[in-house]
Each structure stands twice: as C-alpha cells, then as structure tokens.
C-alpha cells in the first residue's frame, strides 16, 4: 500500500505531534522531508535513554522513512531553497513555536498566496485562534489544562497524566487525516487549504462524553481508576498472583460474571439487576468481588471468564505484551532496513497486508546534499 506515492511533504517539526503527522503520511507512501535546526536538530533526538545510532528511540519511532535536511531558517539561502521545494511539494507540516513560521516568511497566509495548491498543516498546543493561541505547551501541560488529569487516576488518590503521549499522538493522527481529506478536495477543486490541529482540541474531542455529561448535569463523574464511572462491573481486580480487568457492563455479561464467581442469584437481585442499580450499589458489589478474585490466580480467572464469554484481560507489563501470542501473530513489529532498530509498523492492513517500513530515521542533515539544500553556517562557540 503506497496510496500517497507521488505526494511530497515538507515537514518543519520538533517533538511529537507534527512528527507523527508526517510519519503517518510517509507510512502510506509520501516522500517526507524533515527540516531540522543545525546543531542539535529535533529536540526529540535527545529524549532518552535508550539511544540507538546517536538518537533516542523516541526519535526513531516518529521519524522513520523520512529524508532529513538541516536549515537555518534565518538564512536567505535556506528560505530560497524552501521556496524552490514548495514549487513541487504538496503538503507542508509545521509545529514550531507559535509565530516562528511567520517570522521567517513561511507563515500560512504568505505561503498559500504563492502556492495555492499547497496543503498547509499547522499544529499547536492551544489552537490557531483565541487568547492562548501563542501559548507554548507540552503533553502534561495540555492534559492538565483540558481536564484530562482530573478524570485519570484513583478516586481516593491524586489526578494523574495518561502514561503515554496520547494527545501528541492523537493530534498527529488527526492532522494526517485532515491532510488527506484536503488532498482529496484538492483533486476536485485544484486548490489546497490550511489544516490546523492542536493538542487541546484533541483533548476536548477525546473527553467529549465526559464534557457533555458535565455540561448537562453540572457534575463531574468521579475518577474510576481502572474502570468507567458510568458502567459496572468494569474495572481491575487483584488476583492471587497479579491483576485482571473485567468488563461486564451490560446485564447479559453481568449475569455471566455472576455465574463464573459462584453467585448466579445476583442476576435477579434487585440491587444488581440493571446497570443503573449496579452503579448505585457499586461500592458494596466491588467489595464483595475483591476477595473472590484474590482467591485464584490470573490464568485461572482468564480461563473461566473467557469460557463464559466475559471480556477480560491480564494487566500486562510492556514485556508481557511483546511476549503475547496475539501480538506476535499481528506482525506489528519489524526491523527497519539497514537500521538495526525494531519498531511498530502502521496499525492498518490493506487487503490483509501491512505497509512495510521503508527505512529508518535520518541522521541529522543526512539528505541535504542529495536535495540541493544550502549548508548551514558552522555553529559559533
């Protein structure tokens, strides 16, 4: 699958969100040219350990298959080269500090005036408009601002961030989707457009159910740690040798769960007969289930619950995940050609086939001469 073969992307990004957008387009066949600052390049190169071939695994993960160029955007020669590239580029992606692209003459309005077929994608922390449009931000900052901290964690504990960069990754994927939609529209109209996305907008979309419920009721549902505040039984339980997540939220699944744990009468019990009633009596129900699950090991519970058709899973570590037969069967991981780095492939199949990774992340400025880019001036001491 090389659906975007022939599409050229010029990517001015650092850190995660913009890089994910470019990497997604590249995985589908686009030729992505990543522009980095001379000297240190993308900040992400230094976000480790672990490091492989002089760059962090984070950088390798988000920049595989791209070509790399170093440019000092304050140099007229560099801007002249960018303009020459824009003549044959289809997409520009940027997530630099707000205002940077305007300062160097590469802002959306000016560039689109000169290159009307270009799809210009701009990624920010707080959005392209509004009083905070120029406010910088990282994952934790936006998670806190947008309310994501407040819904994550144990009800009795402190709010916490999600354990991976969900907003960065989600924003990159949304921007890539918006870019492809804009390219489809261009095929009809002949005109590009400006696509904007931000971490805070991604957060608001992800939290849309909770925000709608709060808006309607005036109250926020309590944090539920490993489950859902509005569904019962759906949470994590300790077992004799680990932890297990059980998801028996509807009445049919709850009846099956009740039978598995030796309490079939619960299905007809007025306290538990409906989801609404189970929520009302959730604390007592959970406290009754906890010692039952602690009485047997995880594998035994998995076998019993799966045998009855109750959705469940062990709480795996990342090492456990890599050893799971299902994960191995999905063939999601592969060694990048020539890079000796094993990374996750794109999580899509087309007619049963997953697109192959075409190469690793570029060394800093690796393709500058190949692409005719000007050499950056030596760094001053």
pLDDT tens, residue by residue, 263-284: 999 999 999 999 999 999 988 9
Does the structure show a pLDDT above 50 at 381?
Answer: no
Q: Of all residues in the chain, what percent carry a pLDDT higher than 70?
A: 98
- Which element (helix H / strand E) includes 10? strand 8-12
* Measured CA distances, 291 to 48, 63, 100, 286 (Å): 41, 47, 58, 9
Q: Please report how many Cα atoms fall inside a 13 Å half-sphere around the Cα of residue 368, on the Cβ side.
A: 17
Name the token pair of 120. Answer: 């210009």
Task: Specify which residues 120 forms β-bridges with.
Answer: 92, 194
The structure's pTM equals 0.87
User: Rounded to 5, what percent of the chain is helix, strand, coil?
Assistant: 40, 15, 45
pLDDT of residue 195: 97
Asked if pLDDT for residue 380 goes beyond 70, the answer is no
Least confident of 120-124, 273-277, 290-294: 273-277
Helix (H, G, I), strand (E, B) or coil at 342: strand
> How many Cβ atoms from other residues are within 10 Å of residue 216's Cβ?
8
pLDDT at 339: 67
How does pLDDT run across 230-272, given as a tens digit for each residue? 788 888 999 999 999 999 989 999 999 999 999 999 999 999 9
CA atoms within 13 Å, Cβ hemisphere of 214: 13
pLDDT band of 210, cuts 50, 70, 90: confident
Phi-psi region of 211 (alpha: psi -120 to 50; beta: other; left: phi over 0): alpha
Q: Rounded CA gap, 7 and 24, in Å? A: 13
Active-site amino acid positions = 168
**Range in 192-201, 216-225, 227-236, 314-323 with the lowest mean pLDDT:** 216-225
Burial classification of residue 119, based on how many CB atoms lie within 10 Å of its CB (0-12 exposed, 13-18 middle, 19 or more buried): buried
Least confident of 116-120, 188-192, 289-293, 335-339: 335-339
Which domains does the chain carry? 8-206+332-344 (3.40.50.10540), 234-238+243-314 (3.30.1540.10)
Tens-place pLDDT, residues 81-118: 999 999 999 999 999 999 999 999 999 999 999 999 99
Could you read off the pLDDT of 131-178 as tens digits, one per residue? 999 988 899 999 988 888 888 877 777 888 888 899 999 999 999 999
Cα(206)–Cα(183) distance, rounded to whole angstroms?
25
Q: What is the DSSP letter of 60?
A: H
pLDDT at 95: 95
* Structure confidence by residue, pLDDT tens digits, 328-378: 888 888 887 766 778 888 888 888 888 877 888 899 999 999 999 998 876
**pLDDT averaged over the chain?**
90
CA distance 213 to 26: 38
Q: Which residues of 332-355 are buried (b: 16+ CB within 10 A; e: fewer)?
A: eeeebeebebebebbeeeeeeebb
């Amino acid at each position: 699958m090389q659906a975007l073969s022939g599409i050229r992307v010029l990517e001015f990004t650092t850190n995660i969100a913009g890089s994910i957008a470019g990497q997604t387009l590249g995985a589908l066949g686009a030729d992505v040219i990543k522009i980095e600052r001379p000297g240190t390049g993308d900040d992400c190169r230094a976000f480790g350990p672990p490091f492989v071939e002089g760059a962090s695994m984070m950088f390798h993960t988000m920049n595989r298959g791209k070509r790399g160029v170093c440019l000092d955007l304050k140099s007229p020669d560099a801007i002249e080269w960018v303009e020459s590239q824009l003549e044959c580029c289809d997409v520009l992606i940027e997530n630099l500090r707000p205002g940077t692209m305007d300062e160097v003459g590469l802002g959306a309005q000016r560039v689109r005036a000169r290159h009307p077929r270009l799809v210009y994608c701009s990624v920010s922390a707080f959005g392209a408009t509004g009083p905070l449009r120029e406010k910088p931000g990282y994952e934790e900052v936006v998670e806190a601002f947008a309310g994501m901290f407040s819904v994550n964690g144990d009800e009795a504990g402190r709010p916490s961030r999600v354990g991976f960069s969900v907003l960065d990754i989600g924003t990159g994927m949304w921007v890539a989707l918006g870019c492809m939609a804009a390219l489809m529209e261009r095929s009809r109209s002949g005109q590009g457009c400006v696509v904007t996305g931000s971490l805070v907008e991604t957060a608001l979309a992800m939290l849309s159910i909770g925000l709608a419920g709060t808006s309607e009721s005036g109250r926020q549902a309590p944090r539920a740690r490993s489950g859902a505040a509005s569904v019962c039984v759906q949470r994590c339980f300790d077992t004799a040798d680990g932890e297990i997540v059980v998801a028996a939220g509807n009445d049919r699944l709850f009846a099956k769960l009740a039978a598995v744990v030796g309490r079939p009468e619960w299905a007809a019990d007025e306290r538990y007969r409906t989801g609404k009633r189970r929520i009302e009596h959730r604390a007592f129900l959970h406290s009754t289930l906890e010692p039952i699950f602690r009485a047997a090991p995880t594998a035994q519970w998995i076998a019993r619950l799966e045998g009855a058709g109750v959705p469940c899973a062990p709480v795996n570590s990342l090492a456990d995940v890599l050893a799971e037969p299902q994960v191995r069967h999905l063939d999601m991981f592969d060694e990048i050609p020539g890079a000796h780095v094993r990374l996750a492939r794109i999580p899509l199949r087309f007619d049963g086939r997953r697109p192959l990774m075409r190469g690793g992340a570029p060394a800093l400025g690796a393709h500058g001469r190949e692409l005719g880019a000007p050499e950056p001036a030596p760094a001053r001491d």
